[in-house]
A and B are shown apart, each in its own frame.
Chain A
Amino acid sequence: MDADLIVQILFAAIKTGTPLLFIALGEVICEKSGVLNLGQEGMMLMGAVVGFLAAYGSGNMGFGILAAMAMGSIMSLIFAVLVLHIGANQVATGLALTIFGTGLSAFIGADFVGQTIQGFQPIAIPLLSDIPYVGRILFSHDILVYFSFFMTALLVYVVNKTRIGLTLKAVGENPHAANAIGIKVLRVRYLSVMFGGAMAGTAGAYMSLVYTPMWVEGMTAGRGWIALALVVFASWRVGRIMLGAYLFGLASIMHLVLQGLGWSISPNLLAMLPYVATVLVMVIIGADHFKEKLLAPRSLGKPFNPRNMA
């Protein structure tokens, strides 16, 4: 393998990892507030189809992204009302959201399958993109990839260095104590869930506006689920999610790597790699039971009902 190919592979790993990065960033905030939303796949598909239709109809890519974000938030709001207000089981409600989103997106997009649009074009950042190798790997992407860099940096800062981050962690670790000191637990959770929805919508729009760029039923192919594993892999630390997303991106484009090495393996077998990698990650992390228990937000998945407060 020559240097040129390695640059191409790393470039593609970032591009492929970007939708995972978006969803996982949203989900980690959601989980830090104590809510486990398994509806990622459904929200992402809705973001993909609505983003595509909005961009297709208006001819404006930015409008497509905004529409996808709004759609993701609306979807997550259904989940939030059921889980936070009615106290429905988070696992079952998340599954329902995924099934609903899968169906609704296919229903809405049925007439637009196979239509293509002119996706976002790559923008080489002046100076930075001239750095040998690194410039081509990191700084000659489309604008959404830069947006994902920005969001990662922003969230690392907000979660670790600000009062908002502290509030979020307090709600996720001990909602009763947070409530006692006057934090509106449900409000924090609503906002976190909806932020997760907006990020999942963005991830979907990335798929349908940049990555392919077109709409196909079920085009997210389990990325919403892989992102959930990614959050565990990153031990709920925002910075590590970026690394994990690109590693998973790399696993998804392994066929390029192997072709580079001159191997030929059936693409259908190679397509399993990201899923197999996810299982391996779950095993490695789960085996360290003590650590996982220590790092996961303590109230994750547990309902909080202010009415039950003594």
Chain B
Amino acid sequence: MIRIQARTEPSSLMKVASPLLAIVLTLIFGAILFSAIGKSPVQALQVLLIAPLADSYNIGEMFVKMGPLLLCAVGLSLCYRANMWNIGAEGQLLAGALGGSAMALYFIDSESTFALPITLLAGIASGMIWAAVPTFLKLRYNSNLILTTIMFNYIALYLLIWSVHGPLRDPDGYGFPESALFSDITLLPTLFEGSRIHLGILFAVLSGIIGWFILSKTHLGFQIRVFGADEPAARYAGFSGKKLSWFVMLFAGALAGLAGVSETTGPIGQLTPNISPGYGYSAIIVAYLGRLHPIGAIIAAAFMAVLYMGGELAQIEMGIPVAVISMFQGVLLFFLLACDFFINNRLSLTNQATN
């Protein structure tokens, strides 16, 4: 008979295999679901996973989506390792978009070469501020970080909506809730002719490498890892929990802010109410799928970007509601959490019946 046995040591093979297994199980779930609603599962999976990589335009769009996912996920990976449950990447992204856009609009008639760097810095700073407030409230007043960061997501969203209806609305925009189009001087340069791939994807990959370097090669990263693995031990070693908390939260806020400002100054080119299709929330899944490792996050973000792109194509080509993507994300995380059980446990076959 089959029994569940605790492993004496966590399986390093399962740590890597678990996300892959979860993806396969999610795809099987998807195939069953598509059959159930009368769509061809083969065609649906082809549109979801293969079509996004089938031509150069789609690949470009895939990279456009990968940028913000990765930036947010790298920050979240460090937060979660330090036991800081930051669910606020979405709000920090929106804050970055808002702050950056305000700066871009300030530079709308400018010729300065500093306009773009200052705009990006404004976005980064806004994201950091949006992460700093909940961090301060947690460290000073012991308020629940999960709930405050989520509340800050909603507050950022309404602040953004208010801005595009009010102070940042394009005066010549016929009353549409959008800002004016930014001047070329504050737009991120595209990397290839005829594609929307912009500098943001380089920022994102760079952030993954920087995150990896911090986590693996610095004393700070060592402290974060010890803190996450064994908090009492970290305190006994004299590591400052407050300092680490501030660092990971501000780092995550800066990256999410950069993601936001890179969206508005990149593919969108203006501030609109719907600049993010939930990148900040999806980044939570990306971070987990990448095993809270910045390099893992790069691979996971690429996969998630394919899924996003595939979801759009599935809506256009097969009439499948685009919401199928966030459903898959939830299922993926369920399967991942379930598969992770086998990192610390294994199935074993025994001959004798247990008593």
Within 8 A of A (CB), among B133-170: 137-138, 141-144, 146-148, 150-152, 154-155, 158-159, 161-162, 165-166
A-side contacts of B325, CB under 8 Å: 103
Distance A5 CA – B44 CA, assembled complex (angstroms): 55
B-side contacts of A278, CB under 8 Å: 147, 151
Q: A107-B327, A225-B147 are in contact. Are A289 and B333 (CB under 8 A)?
A: no
Partner of B154, one of A98, A101, A104, A272: A272
Distance A276 CA – B136 CA, assembled complex (angstroms): 15
How many A residues have CB within 8 A of the partner chain? Answer: 48
Distance A283 CA – B135 CA, assembled complex (angstroms): 12
Q: In the complex, are the beta carbons of A276 and B155 less than 8 A apart?
A: yes
Q: How far is the CB of A226 from chain B (nearest CB, A)?
A: 8
Distance A74 CA – B146 CA, assembled complex (angstroms): 25
Judged by DSSP, the binding face of B is helix
**Nearest chain A residue, comparing its CB with the CB of B151:** A275
A214-248 vs B, CB cutoff 8 Å, 1 = contact: the mask equals 00010001100100110010000000000000000
B222: CB under 8 A from chain A? no
Partner of A225, one of B150, B328, B338: B150
Distance A93 CA – B334 CA, assembled complex (angstroms): 7
Distance A282 CA – B147 CA, assembled complex (angstroms): 8
Distance A237 CA – B281 CA, assembled complex (angstroms): 31
A-side contacts of B220, CB under 8 Å: none
B331: CB under 8 A from chain A? yes
**Nearest chain B residue, comparing its CB with the CB of A278:** B151
Q: How far is the CB of B129 from chain A (nearest CB, A)?
A: 15
Distance A107 CA – B338 CA, assembled complex (angstroms): 24
Q: In the complex, are the beta carbons of A107 and B337 less than 8 A apart?
A: no
B104: CB under 8 A from chain A? no
Judged by DSSP, the binding face of A is helix
Q: In the complex, are the beta carbons of A103 and B328 less than 8 A apart?
A: yes
Q: How far is the CB of B225 from chain A (nearest CB, A)?
A: 18
Q: In the complex, are the beta carbons of A272 and B337 less than 8 A apart?
A: no
Q: In the complex, are the beta carbons of B284 and A292 less than 8 A apart?
A: no
B101: CB under 8 A from chain A? no
A134: CB under 8 A from chain B? no
Q: In the complex, are the beta carbons of B148 and A279 less than 8 A apart?
A: yes
A-side contacts of B144, CB under 8 Å: 229, 232, 282, 286
Distance A113 CA – B341 CA, assembled complex (angstroms): 39
A-side contacts of B337, CB under 8 Å: 82, 86, 88-89, 92-93, 96
B-side contacts of A276, CB under 8 Å: 151, 155
A-side contacts of B298, CB under 8 Å: none
Within 8 A of B (CB), among A255-303: 266, 268-269, 271-272, 275-276, 278-279, 282-283, 285-287, 289, 292
Distance A105 CA – B137 CA, assembled complex (angstroms): 33
Q: In the complex, are the beta carbons of B158 and A268 less than 8 A apart?
A: yes
Q: Which 3 A-B pairs have the closest CB atoms?
A: A100-B330, A103-B327, A103-B326
